[in-house]
Amino acid sequence: ILNVEQSPQSLHVQEGDSTNFTCSFPSSNFYALHWYRWETAKSPEALFVMTLNGDEKKKGRISATLNTKEGYSYLYIKGSQPEDSATYLCAFGTGFQKLVFGTGTRLLVSP
């Protein structure tokens, strides 16, 4: 059974703080690593899909890195804003584009 672990489970930061989360996944049979943002009462929204070791992706104040050899990915948020409050999910891509999701990191940003 594939295991995808995310840490921390939850995080409470002040507006303007920078923060980062970790996703750990199997280092073998790697196809892709996905990051999604899931705001309350909305649908999960894709942030990044990374497929190559050493990949770095950026979208505004959010960026992600990928290390497939050691099986981890980091998601960084620079200068957190209250609208960044959400659950951040990572998912390990297997064959046929099946995804195995972690349990998520719940981020709360206070003004």
Partner 1 sequence: DVKVTQSSRYLVKRTGEKVFLECVQDMDHENMFWYRQDPGLGLRLIYFSYDVKMKEKGDIPEGYSVSREKKERFSLILESASTNQTSMYLCASSFLRGYNQPQHFGDGTRLSIL
Distance, in Å, from the CA atom of 95 to the CA atom of 99, rounded to the nearest integer, reads 9
State yes or no: residue 63 binds partner 1 (CB under 8 A).
no
Q: Near partner 1 by CB under 8 A, which window of 19-27, 59-67, 74-82, 87-95?
A: 87-95
Does 71 bind partner 1 (CB under 8 A)? Our answer is: no
Between CA 98 and CA 104 the distance in angstroms is 17
Backbone angles phi, psi at 84, to 5 degrees: -80, -10
Residue 101 in contact with partner 1, rule: CB under 8 A? yes
Question: What separation in angstroms does the CA of 87 have from each of 43, 93, 94, 100, 110?
Answer: 11, 19, 22, 16, 15
Stretch that binds partner 1, among 12-20, 26-34, 63-71, 73-81 (CB under 8 A): 26-34
Report if residue 108 touches partner 1, rule: CB under 8 A: no
Residues in contact with partner 1, total (CB under 8 A)? 25
The answer to the question of residue 37 lying near partner 1 (CB under 8 A) is no
Beta carbons within 10 angstroms of residue 36's beta carbon: 20
Among 40, 42, 70, 83, binds partner 1 (CB under 8 A): 42
DSSP label of 95: G
Is 104 a binding residue for partner 1 by CB under 8 A? The answer is: yes
The single-letter code of the amino acid at 33 is: L
